[in-house]
């Protein structure tokens, strides 16, 4: 029965290849991906809201709610157990996983990511985990694109495009923001924007947004009514807000990396859970706005209805004091990163998309109110600056200024603030670039040399595999061999370089044919000279841990054409030649980047 189904599917593939042009079939797949990703995004959002409503409908406004100490802990525990015993795979850092799949795994994403991220993130966030649902849904969308591409036997370049389509559809579907979905794929996933890629990406984004409109209505995700037209004399304050957003993003990024390293070094699942549970429950109990994604807080700030932000907090009695609310929100800015890391590190599943928007809205609002307190003659609309802050922090955290501008405009309908949104996004992005070259998504891969970028030369080198260019036809000699023995080896070899290895196959040096040419034809010297007498150290050694970009820098620095490759213990593996890398470079360039126009 299974063979019969496989035969039918193979026949369908052959029919498709004969009757449907590749370009049109990619558009069909893009359309399907758009529908699937939008439905998954809607399912995830509705599941999260259903769980949150069920758990928090009985919350008190005027006093502390002790369930904040319990619900988030239960959420990360259930999510962690689900991942540990059912999924049995790491599904955290969704966008980083997509970047790695594009760079190193030929865009192959495991099929379980279609559903595992949905389940884990809905439990985590529904129970109050202080993270966002966007990274999990982006991983889900990319997994859908990867699975469809592999099902229909698409080539590597097309598979990479379909993964990008899945990501674009996920963003467009969950935010109802098609332009942001398209730009996210180009800026964050770093796929080249070409005529061959723009139509499929646009098809998926528009389809996903349309499906979301059909099921959830055409209203923007956040209701924003601009009560004041943006005045040009406020531009200096917009610049200052951009710098502040860049610094907040820098703080968020660096603290995230440090806290993550603490959880990563903790080997025990239960120790990680206990550490994350204590941090998360205490923070959410003290600061209830940290509960869940935080979209209610964003809606309150940009709607200029912030009177209830301290509801359910032990500090509720301070809500009538302006300085009380100011300190409350400032404390949230400094602690949100710990709540996010505790959620993911303790076993939960979520992303930094929503937290960056959340931090930005608070930063913009606090900035505006602070300026008004210090300079009573200055009036800055808090809701407008909350909106700008969202764009600024997101731009800096994700290194995606265009995505930030269009996402905020599409999320809120705040297109009248396009100019200040662009200014704050650009200034925040430039600010963080002064300190960090890579975004929080890509820094883990960049440190390992596994990141694919828009720079085509670097992208090709990233896709190259060292194992594929190692040559093993260099005949080895040993330190105790005589010149006569070496001459016999030379007679059998077509190379002019000979690695010298000991009994443990550790590389000790090399013999260069040019260095012994003047003595190799003198038989009377064959027994007098040993290899250790005329061998030399190689100009450099290539290790298996080196990224290809660094290998090319070594070749450039040494001016060598052949360099030996050793493992971490120094054992000889073969040689890499510059000409071999150039040939492999051309093959990868043709395979992955040709046909872009």
Q: Specify whether 471 is located in the same domain as 420.
A: no
Check residue 425 and give its pLDDT.
96
How does residue 585 score in pLDDT terms, banded at 50, 70 and 90?
low
Domain of 371, CATH number, reads: 1.10.3080.10
Which residues are CB-neighbours of 176 under 8 A, at least 6 positions away?
209, 212, 213, 216, 220, 221, 410, 411
- Of residues 562 and 361, more confidence is placed in 361
> Residue 40: is it exposed, middle or buried by C-beta count within 10 angstroms (0-12/13-18/19+)?
buried
How does residue 392 score in pLDDT terms, banded at 50, 70 and 90?
very high
Q: Specify whether 534 is located in the same domain as 589.
A: yes
**Which strand (E) or helix (H) includes residue 574?**
strand 572-577
What pLDDT digit, counting tens, does each position of 144-192 carry? 999 998 888 788 778 888 999 999 999 999 999 999 999 998 888 776 6
Q: Specify whether 148 is located in the same domain as 246.
A: no
What pLDDT digit, counting tens, does each position of 401-439 carry? 999 999 998 888 777 888 999 999 999 999 999 998 878
For the chain, how many structural domains are there in total? 3
- Of residues 461 and 569, more confidence is placed in 569
Check residue 79 and give its pLDDT.
94
How does residue 332 score in pLDDT terms, banded at 50, 70 and 90?
very high
Mean pLDDT over 552-566 rounds to: 83
Give the Cα separation of 397 and 505 in Å (integer): 47
Average pLDDT value for the chain: 84
Check residue 550 and give its pLDDT.
79
Give the Cα separation of 551 and 563 in Å (integer): 10
Contact 96, 445 (CB under 8 A): yes
Check residue 310 and give its pLDDT.
76
Q: Specify whether 270 is located in the same domain as 188.
A: no
Contact 406, 177 (CB under 8 A): yes
Lowest mean pLDDT among 115-129, 289-303, 310-324, 447-461: 447-461
Give the Cα separation of 451 and 234 in Å (integer): 39
DSSP one-letter code for 474: P
Domain of 513, CATH number, reads: 3.10.580.10
Task: Show the domain range for 94.
Answer: 16-216
Is pLDDT above 50 for 560? yes
What pLDDT digit, counting tens, does each position of 434-488 carry? 998 878 777 766 555 555 544 444 554 455 566 677 888 888 999 989 989 988 8
- CA 131 from chain centre, in angstroms, equals 15
| Coil, strand or helix at 113 | helix
Is pLDDT above 80 for 63? no
Check residue 134 and give its pLDDT.
87
Residue 2 within any structural domain of the chain: no
Give the Cα separation of 191 and 203 in Å (integer): 16
What pLDDT digit, counting tens, does each position of 85-98 carry? 999 888 877 777 77
Residue 491 within any structural domain of the chain: yes
Q: Specify whether 479 is located in the same domain as 555.
A: yes
Residue 225 within any structural domain of the chain: no
Residue 242 within any structural domain of the chain: yes
Residues of the chain with pLDDT > 70, as a percent, come to 87
Residue 222 within any structural domain of the chain: no
Check residue 457 and give its pLDDT.
44
Residue 273 within any structural domain of the chain: yes
What pLDDT digit, counting tens, does each position of 246-282 carry? 999 999 999 999 999 899 888 899 999 999 999 999 9
- Of residues 312 and 585, more confidence is placed in 312
Structure tokens at 523: 């038989």
Q: Specify whether 195 is located in the same domain as 84.
A: yes
Mean pLDDT over 583-597 rounds to: 53
Residue 1 within any structural domain of the chain: no
- Of residues 346 and 314, more confidence is placed in 346
Q: What is the DSSP string of 352-410?
A: SHHHHHHHHHHHHHHHHHHHHHH-TT----HHHHHHHHHHHHHHHHHT-HHHHHHHHHH
Q: Specify whether 244 is located in the same domain as 374.
A: yes
Q: What is the DSSP string of 277-337?
A: HHHHHHHHHH-GGGSSS-HHHHHHHHTT--TTTTTTSTTGGGTTSHHHHHHHHHHHHHHHH
Mean pLDDT over 563-584 rounds to: 82
Give the Cα separation of 516 and 498 in Å (integer): 12
Q: Specify whether 127 is located in the same domain as 167.
A: yes
Check residue 570 and give its pLDDT.
87
- Of residues 8 and 317, more confidence is placed in 8
Residue 563 within any structural domain of the chain: yes
- Of residues 218 and 6, more confidence is placed in 218
> Residue 33: is it exposed, middle or buried by C-beta count within 10 angstroms (0-12/13-18/19+)?
buried
CA angle 144/150/155 to nearest 5° reads 120
Check residue 464 and give its pLDDT.
54
Q: Specify whether 104 is located in the same domain as 124.
A: yes
Mean pLDDT over 20-27 rounds to: 86
Check residue 449 and give its pLDDT.
52
Check residue 461 and give its pLDDT.
47
Mean pLDDT over 299-318 rounds to: 76
Q: Specify whether 311 is located in the same domain as 426.
A: yes
Single out the residue in 216, 243, 277 at which a domain terminates: 216
Is pLDDT above 90 for 546? no
Single out the residue in 457, 474, 490 at which a domain terminates: 457
Check residue 104 and give its pLDDT.
59
Check residue 465 and give its pLDDT.
64
Lowest mean pLDDT among 20-24, 190-194, 226-230, 421-425: 190-194
Q: Specify whether 351 is located in the same domain as 366.
A: yes
Q: Specify whether 539 is located in the same domain as 426.
A: no
Single out the residue in 405, 422, 457 at which a domain terminates: 457
Residues of the chain with pLDDT > 90, as a percent, come to 40
């Amino acid at each position: 029965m299974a063979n019969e189904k496989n035969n039918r599917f193979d026949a369908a593939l052959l029919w498709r290849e004969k009757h449907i042009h590749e370009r049109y079939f990619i558009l069909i797949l893009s359309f399907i991906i758009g529908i699937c990703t939008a439905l998954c995004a809607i399912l995830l959002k509705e599941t999260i809201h259903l769980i949150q409503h069920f758990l928090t409908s009985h919350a008190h406004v005027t006093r502390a709610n002790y369930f904040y100490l319990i619900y988030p802990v239960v959420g990360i525990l259930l999510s962690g157990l689900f991942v540990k015993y059912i999924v049995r795979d790491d599904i955290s850092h969704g966008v980083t996983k997509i970047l790695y799949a594009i760079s190193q795994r030929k865009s192959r994403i495991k099929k379980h990511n279609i559903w595992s991220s949905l389940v884990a993130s809905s439990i985590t966030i529904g129970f109050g985990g202080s993270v966002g649902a966007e990274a999990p849904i982006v991983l889900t969308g990319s997994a859908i694109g990867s699975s469809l591409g592999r099902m229909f036997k698409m080539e590597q370049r097309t598979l990479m495009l379909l993964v990008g389509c899945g990501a674009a559809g996920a963003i467009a579907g969950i935010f109802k923001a098609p332009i942001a979905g398209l730009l996210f794929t180009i800026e964050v996933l770093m796929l080249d924007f070409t005529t061959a890629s723009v139509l499929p990406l646009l098809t998926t984004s528009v389809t996903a947004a349309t499906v979301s409109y059909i099921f959830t209505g055409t209203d923007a995700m956040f209701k924003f009514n601009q009560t004041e037209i943006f005045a040009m004399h406020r531009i200096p304050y917009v610049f200052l807000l951009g710098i502040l957003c860049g610094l907040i993003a820098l703080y968020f990024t660096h603290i995230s990396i440090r806290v993550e390293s603490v959880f990563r070094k903790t080997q025990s699942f239960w120790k990680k859970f206990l550490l994350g549970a204590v941090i998360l429950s205490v923070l959410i109990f003290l600061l209830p706005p940290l509960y869940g994604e935080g979209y209610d807080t964003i809606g309150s700030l940009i709607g200029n209805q912030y009177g209830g932000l301290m509801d359910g907090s032990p500090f509720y009695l301070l809500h009538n004091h302006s300085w009380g609310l100011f300190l409350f929100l400032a404390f949230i800015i400094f602690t949100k990163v710990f709540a996010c890391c505790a959620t993911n590190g303790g076993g939960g599943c979520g992303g930094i998309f929503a937290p960056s928007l959340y931090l930005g809205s608070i930063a913009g609002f606090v900035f505006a109110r602070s300026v008004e307190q210090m300079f009573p003659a200055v009036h800055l609309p808090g809701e407008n600056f909350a909106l700008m802050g969202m764009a600024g922090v997101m731009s800096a955290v994700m290194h995606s200024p265009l995505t930030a501008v269009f996402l905020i405009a599409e999320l809120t309908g705040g297109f009248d603030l396009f100019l200040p949104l662009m200014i704050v996004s650009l200034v925040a992005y430039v600010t963080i670039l002064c300190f960090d070259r890579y975004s929080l998504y890509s820094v883990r891969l960049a440190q390992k040399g596994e990141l694919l970028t828009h720079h085509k030369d670097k992208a090709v080198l990233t896709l190259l595999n060292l194992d594929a260019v190692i040559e093993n036809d260099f005949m080895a000699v040993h330190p105790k061999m005589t010149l006569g023995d070496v001459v016999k080896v030379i007679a059998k070899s077509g190379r002019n370089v000979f690695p010298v290895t000991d009994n443990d196959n550790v590389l000790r040096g090399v013999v260069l044919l040019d260095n012994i040419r003047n003595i190799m034809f003198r038989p009377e010297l064959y027994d007098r000279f040993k290899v250790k007498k005329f061998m030399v150290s190689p100009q450099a050694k290539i290790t298996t841990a080196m990224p290809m970009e660094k290998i090319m820098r070594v070749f450039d620095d040494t001016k060598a054409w052949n360099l030996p490759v050793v493992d971490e213990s120094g054992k000889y593996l073969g040689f890499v030649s510059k000409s071999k890398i150039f040939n492999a470079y051309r093959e990868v360039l043709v395979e992955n980047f040709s046909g872009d126009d």
